[in-house]
Every structure is written in structure tokens, then in C-alpha cells.
Chain A
Amino acid sequence: MLEDLFKVVKKRFNDDDNKAETEKPKFKCPRCQHMITEEHYNELLKVCPDCNYHGRMTARERIAITADKDSFIEFDKDMKSCNPINYPEYEEKQQELREKTGLSDAVVTGQAKIKGSDVIIAVMDSRYMMASMGSVVGEKITRAFETAVEKKLPVVIFTASGGARMQEGIVSLMQMAKTSGAVARHNQAGLLYITVMTDPTTGGVTASFASLGDIIIAEPKVLIGFAGRRVIEGTIKQRLPDDFQLAEFLEEKGFVDMIVERRKMRSTLSHLLKLHGYVPEQEEA
């Protein structure tokens, strides 16, 4: 009791050190509202220490923790979208985002090694227009699969998306057909496709290539769904349970094969690749 009293006093009269501590940027977990400093959150690979929610990462961060060091070779780095329906200020908005994120659109694709096994890898980045799928995402994903067929390689995609890119209208919808067609060809070639669903995987991406993996992995507590939560709540006129559309719910309903923690993702992927015969030429330590 006495101690508690002192704590309060100490808080009220912060010395400079403590002040710096409280002013450090904080991360608030969207699942359990737990607050930690961003510094600590980053140290934990952006996983909430309280509820195990696996937070959003940038594409570069993801590649860094997944691929072997210096093994990543990027494809189509400078591909940029046009404005197919002349949506007002679409170009300006994209230019702004390019400068802010260093990305040219919402997906980074390339070839890499995972513990020595060669893979074609694609990582979506939700900072870029909620990683919505327009012409560039559609084209880069499609090319990734086509390259994988040519080189007889497996594909690993880390999905994250708000869905179709509204600003590209019907052209955006058609990317669902284009990417799924490329998955079909890769599938017919007998090659492995692993989807890793990360936060959030929704809409037109769920309804196309994200749901078509031979193996579908999800990170804990991430949001996965077709329709948006608010849209459904609007239809049924009641609040949905908190766990609705989380990875665990999808696993229970049979739409996710396994939930894998971030710190085990690289080794899990490596084992699955080897089980499918993608054995490294020279295994990395």
C-alpha cells in the first residue's frame, strides 16, 4: 500500500528521465488495447506481449526476417499504376505514398532463398492504400507465378489487403481473375504454393489468390475475411463477437491449415519446402 502511494507521487513529479520514457511513441494493440513502447514492440517483432496479436510489418521487414541474408532479388521494382478510370487525384495520392513508404505500389515481389531453398516470394504492404489490389499488384503477383512456372519454383505469398483498389474500378476486379489464372497454371505445373495470411487479409484478395494456396498459414489473431465487419454488422444490425474473422475462427471453420507464430515462420516454411522436395543445394547453417 505504502509503495503504491509512492508510485503515484513519483509519477506526478516526473524527473527528466521518466518524462522521456512516457513521451516515447507507443503502440496500442488493436485486439487487447495493451500499450507498449514502439521500441519494445519492434524488439518483439511486432507481436503483442499480452494477447499474441501479430501486428503489421512492412514488406522490407518481412523479407528481412524470412529470407536468407542478401538472397532477395527484387522483380519489377519500378512498376507504377496508371489511372484507368481517371479517378480524381489518384496519381497525386500515389506519388505521396511512394515518397512516404519508398514503395512503388502495395506488393514487393522477387526471388529469395529460405534456409537455402529457392522460392519466389511476394509480400504485401498495408501502408500503401491498405495493400489494395489494382493493376500493379495484379500484374506483379501474376508475373511472380509465371516466373515460378518457368523456373519450376515454389511460391510463398504473405498476403495483407483491404481488397480491391476502388480507385481503379472494374480493372481492379479483373485482377482477381488474372492472378487466380496464374495460380491455376502454377498449380497445373505441380508446383507448391504457400499462402501466409497476415493482418488484414480481406475482400478481393481473400476471394482470389490468398485462398488458393496448397497450404494456407495464418499468423495468430490476424483478421481474415471476405466482407468487412461493419458491412456485416450493418446487415444483421447487431455487434459481431470479438473473435469473428480472426485467424483462429478461420482455422476452426476449416479455411486455414495452420496458425504459425512469427518467430517460427521461417523454419516452418523451410520444413514445408523441403517436405515438397525443394531441397537446398547447400544448406545454410
Chain B
Amino acid sequence: MFEAMSLISKFMIPALLVAIPLYGLFRKVPLYNSFVDGAKDGFPTAIQLIPHLVAMMVAVAVFRDTGALEFYLQFLTPLINWLHIPSEVVPVGILRSISGTGSLAFVESIMKTYGPDSYLGKLASTIQGSSDTTLYVITVYFGAVGIRNSLYAIKVGFLADLAGFVFSILFCSLIFQ
């Protein structure tokens, strides 16, 4: 199953690279001109993101690297114990929404300490793999088109992350324990 899927993933980009221009040729699209025309938008879009990402990633770095994150985690300890959630994976779950590399660092330290095939290693992998970094996605997507008022998008993103965390624990404990 995985072999087949990873084979599809691997061949997807080369296949698209042939299929899309081939179809364009068939429909008499001036391939080269079209490509250059579309590609032109790439640079300004990336540059436009810089202020948004700097603002957000500086705040995340200050929050994470000064120990403020760990301080707030302490308050969650009673709740976490009461719910029987392994305390090692809580930083992974919380950081997953705000900093993808930050939560990955915790996943790697869990793998180093307990091994990737331990229950904690698998649980941390599942939490990391089943979600995307909400704050980054929101910053990039809204930043690219200059949206200032994001309505309820952040709330939905964080609620979905919480759900992903809970479902990861649920399915891991059902499958691996």
C-alpha cells in the first residue's frame, strides 16, 4: 500500500510535467509564452510575503525561545494528567499550530530519547504528520492577497488542530496499545 502510494507521489511531478504541456500542445497553447507569463507572478508574490512572515515568525521565535511556551505548558499539566495524555507529546501538539520546525524539534527529541518505534515516537509522528502549521498557512495565504480581516479562519484552524491532536491520541492508543 505504502509502496504504491509513494511510487505515485514520486512519479506525480514528472508525470504532470509531461502531461500538462502535452495537453497544451494539443490545444495549440503557446507553451513557452504561457509558462513565462504565469511564472512572472511568482517573484512578487514571494516578496509580498516577507513582511507578513517576518512579523509572525519573530513573534513565534520570541514566544518559543525565551521559555514563555514552557511556562504556559506548566499550567496545562494538571489537565493533561487528568486526561491521561502523555505529557511528552503536549509541546508537539501545541507547537504544531504555530511553528512546524519547532514541533518537529520536539518530535526528534522524543525519537532520540524513546526511539521512533516506541509508542511515544509513533504518537508524536502521528501528531506531526496529521496536521499543518495553521499560523503559517494563514499568514502566507492571507498575506499574499493583502487580507487584513481574516474573519473566523484562525479559530477554525486552531479548533481543527485541537481535533487533530485528540484524534491522533485516540487512534494511536486504539492501534498501537
A and B interact physically: no
